[in-house]
Amino acid sequence: MPPGYVPIFIFLGLTILFPVVTLVLARLIRPSAPSFAKLEAYECGIQAASGSRGRYTVRFYIIAILFVIFDVETIFLFPWAVRYKQLGWFGVAEVAVFLAFLVVGYVWAYKKRALEWV
């Protein structure tokens, strides 16, 4: 085995060992006195209205995925902002195309009524 891999395997072993040891120690140290009140779902002091296994509409997931996609897409603007002066007009054109794709995505989602919550 090449000597360059030894630190990687040591780090890998520590990253696996640390959470396992922490969870085992926490299980041994913590008090365990379960009761009905402790195992019941807590909703700000109010009794739970229904079971926790209810179904969500697909619209909730669509809005969540759209949020993640459009939020992550805007992260790609940061490297452009850092290198703005070096890129010149070519960089401006690239960002214009990128933002045009984002706007087209927003318009498509709006026309599909995917952004309406109700």
Position 46 in a domain: yes
Position 65 in a domain: yes
CA distance 3 to 14: 18
Domain total for the chain? 1
Position 118 in a domain: no
Position 77 in a domain: yes
CA distance 76 to 72: 7
Position 20 in a domain: yes
Q: How confident is the model at residue 118 (pLDDT cuts 50, 70, 90)?
A: low
Q: How confident is the model at residue 16 (pLDDT cuts 50, 70, 90)?
A: very high
Position 105 in a domain: yes
pLDDT at 37: 74
What CA dihedral angle connects 47, 50, 56 and 60, to 10 degrees?
Answer: -20
CATH number, position 82:
1.20.58
pLDDT at 85: 86
pLDDT at 7: 92
Position 37 in a domain: yes
pLDDT at 52: 64
pLDDT digits (tens, 9 = 90+) for 98-117: 889 888 888 888 888 877 76
How far does CA 58 lie from the centroid of its chain?
18
pTM of the complete model: 0.45
pLDDT digits (tens, 9 = 90+) for 35-79: 877 777 666 766 666 666 767 777 778 778 888 887 888 788 888
Query: What are the Cα distances from residue 41, in Å, to 37, 49, 50, 108?
Result: 9, 10, 10, 40
Supply the range of the domain harboring residue 50: 3-111
Q: Which two tokens stand for residue 15?
A: 């990253």
pLDDT at 21: 97
Position 116 in a domain: no
Q: What are phi and psi of 51, to 5 degrees?
A: -70, 160
